[in-house]
Amino acid sequence: MKIIQNIGLLLFVVAILLFTIMLGIGNQRLTEENIPGKTPAHKAAIAEAANAEGILNKDIGNIEFISVFGKVLKKAQQNQLNVPIPDGVGEWDIKIGDWEIGGYTSAAVKKSANGPVQENPILWLLLTFGLAILGGLLFIIPKFYEHPGIKNNGIYHDSLTRGLKLNIRSLFLGATILGMLVFGFLKYQNLFWPLVTLVVGGFIYYLVFYRENSKQNTPQRSASPIHTGWLGVLAGIYLIAFYILLYWFPAYINNWIDMVDPVSKKLSGGDASNWFLYGLMYTVIVIVMGIRMLTKYQHNTYQKVRTFSVMFFQTAFAFLIPEILVRLNQPWFDFKNMWPLDYDFFFSFNIQDLLYGGGLGPFMFFWGILLFVIGVPLFTYLYGKRWYCSWVCGCGGLAETMGDPFRQLSDKSLRAWKYERYIIHGVLVFAIVMTLMVIYAFVFERSQILIFNVENVKAWYGFLIGSAFAGVVGTGFYPLMGNRTWCRFGCPLAAYLGLVQRFKSKFRITTNGGQCISCGNCSTYCEMGIDVRSYAQKGQNIVRSSCVGCGVCAAVCPRGVLRLENGSDDGGSRTEELRTIHISEGEVKMLG
């Protein structure tokens, strides 16, 4: 059994190595035919610059090509500045805009790539995805033969899962935040929004440390081990790098994209994009790691059903159905995603796509609104926010499968909770204000509201929240700060669901009388950083806006103290305190 698992591990490592190395192989051969450009003028300008640079019809290494071609584009852009614009032709049909650089680079790279990957994409798919899946399954499947029960042995002895020392974690967090702000400034050549972000961040720091008096309450119970787990740090860096390339430098991962072209063609009929690659990877990971989750919780039907649910929604709703819709000439649409997590739902391009794109579009638009206007309050009232966060949501699905080995790394300190409340509700406010501006701008055809340029607000939200927070920090920080960093601190939909759960829901985690022994398993394995024990040891039910209802606290409890449940009684009494008082003023009794 152990041998099979080790072979699996070996195959997986080989697959990851090949996956990484393959980015650097192959050549680019730019020819007249594959020069990008949306107008003949653009094409001609780029061709001329390419010719001057002497790269036409030459084989150039694929990474080198991107920088050389960058120079070519810059030159073409400059050359076009002085070209007179004939009547009846748009200015930007001649001039090349900054916003087109990324697309042109990707297009050129994709079209001119030739090498082992382009010659035999299926082989590379098998060598990377295939080998990783095989290795993963060889590692995972033998676990079905273990005795069912809680499987947390050695988590804090493992370099991958034991987390970082507090100071190293802070260093990573600080570097990531600053790095993203600097990158945002360079990307948009705009100092205003990075500065606003910095000021807001500083204000939250002030509120937590000084207004909430958290300065003297130095957390001791964050996920800080005695020795930093360097394998976890390595995994975190790899994931962060992956997201940076995926979001902002897709030209560098062209070999990955080309490798999944055949899959994309089979499904939607079109070429793969970086988003298709991401969707495919995401789905594969959710399925394979979902199977791991099934081995880990063989004895727990709640966990099994929930895991099947996230595997299903990711595979069908987030991946297959949208691709099939495209094949049927319908708009790409994920029926389970909703505003405000899906922050561009009300962006003009999306509204136009859906409302005027024909077919099912208007229904999709209506459905998307129905979900968050009716669906959220109704289902959250009945079942708590878990119906979405740990049963349906894609981010939740990844967190509950790939992220499960890291759930213990969430910070349980009171200070972290204070940060959480300011940040997540701040993001919710940002999402609402941004969306209102977008709708206002769309309806009244304005681009400026007060001093704010609506396009800039959209772009900054997309960059800071949609990409940097949800992706780079959200998933990249799994091995550093736990698997729900985004869901806990950033997701505006989670904030909205949480408000309903906290104030108007039948859901709670019931504490079983006085049976708690304060062992701390529940708090340790709460991915949302809720100090579950602090409630359970008082005999108090747990009603917290952040609880995603994963049910792991109830599963790991060695004394059967916790149960997730929906009652019919929804008075303000769900959170009444101190049930374990045994002195006369409160015999052991259950409060609704």
Residue closer to another protein by CB (options 82, 584) is 584
> Least distance (Å) from another protein to the CB of residue 565?
4
DSSP assignment of 264-311 equals: HHHHTSS---HHHHHHHHHHHHHHHHHHHHHHHTTT-HHHHHHHHHHH
The token pair that represents 18 in the structure block: 């090949």
Nearer to another protein, 51 or 309 (CB): 309
C-beta closer to another protein: residue 34 or 152: 152
Footprint of another protein (CB under 8 A): 147-150, 152-158, 216-221, 224-226, 299-302, 305, 408, 413-414, 510, 512-515, 517-521, 523-524, 533-534, 537, 551, 554-556, 558-560, 563-569, 580-584, 587-590, 592
State the minimum distance, in angstroms, from the CB of residue 417 to another protein.
Answer: 11
Q: Please, what is the minimum distance in Å from the beta carbon of residue 208 to another protein?
A: 14
CB atoms within 10 A of CB 45: 25
- Considering beta carbons, is residue 166 or 495 the nearer one to another protein? 166
- Least distance to another protein, CB of residue 14, Å: 27
Q: How far apart are CA 530 and CA 484, in angstroms?
A: 12
The contacts of residue 585 (CB under 8 Å, 6+ apart) are: none
Nearer to another protein, 344 or 565 (CB): 565
Tell me how far, at minimum, the Cβ of 469 lies from another protein, in Å.
27
Between residues 187 and 506, which has the closer beta carbon with respect to another protein? 506
Q: Rounded to an integer, what is the distance from CA 494 to the centroid of its chain?
A: 13
Tokens representing 42? Answer: 């653009």
What are the two backbone dihedrals, phi and then psi, of residue 542, each rounded to the nearest 5 degrees? -105, 115
Which residue number, 485 or 523, has a Cβ lying nearer to another protein?
Answer: 523
To another protein, the closest distance from the beta carbon of 525 in angstroms equals 8
DSSP per residue over 545-566, as a string? TT-----HHHHH-TT--EEEEE
d(CA 26, CA 63): 9
Choose between 130 and 567: whose C-beta lies nearer to another protein. Answer: 567
User: Shortest Cβ distance from residue 578 to another protein (Å)?
Assistant: 9
Question: CA nearest 77: which of 34, 48, 51?
Answer: 48
- C-beta of 212: minimal distance to another protein in Å? 13
Show Cβ contacts of residue 49 under 8 Å, excluding neighbours closer than 6 positions: 72, 73, 75, 76, 79
- Closest approach of Cβ 558 to another protein, in Å? 4
Q: Which residues touch 408 (CB under 8 Å, ≥6 apart)?
A: 155, 156, 161, 163, 223, 482, 524, 525
Count the Cβ atoms, other than its own, within 10 Å of residue 390: 27
Nearer to another protein, 188 or 302 (CB): 302
Q: What angle do CA 236, 239, 245 make, to 5 degrees?
A: 140
* Distance of closest approach, residue 304 Cβ to another protein, in angstroms: 8
CB of 574 to another protein, least distance (A): 11
* Burial tier of 344 (Cβ tally within 10 Å: 0-12, 13-18, 19+): middle
Q: Which is nearer to another protein, 405 or 426 (CB)?
A: 405
Distance, CA of 389 to CA of 278 (rounded, Å): 20
Of 299, 288, 309, 560, the C-alpha closest to 401 is 288
Nearest to another protein of 121, 539 (CB atom): 539
- Given a contact cutoff of 8 angstroms between Cβ atoms, the answer to whether 325 and 317 are in contact is no
- DSSP state for residue 413 in the 8-state scheme: S
| Residue closer to another protein, measured from CB, 80 or 410 | 410
| Contact indicator for 536, 562 with CB cutoff of 8 Å | yes
257 membership: H or E segment, kind and range: helix 254-259
CB of 549 to another protein, least distance (A): 10
The answer to whether 124 and 117 are in contact (CB under 8 A) is yes
Can you give the three-state secondary structure of 110-127, one letter per residue? HHHEECHHHHCHHHHHHH
- 488 vs 574 by CB, closer to another protein: 574
Least distance (Å) between residue 314 CB and another protein: 21
The answer to whether the peptide bond before residue 340 is cis (omega within 30 degrees of 0) is: yes
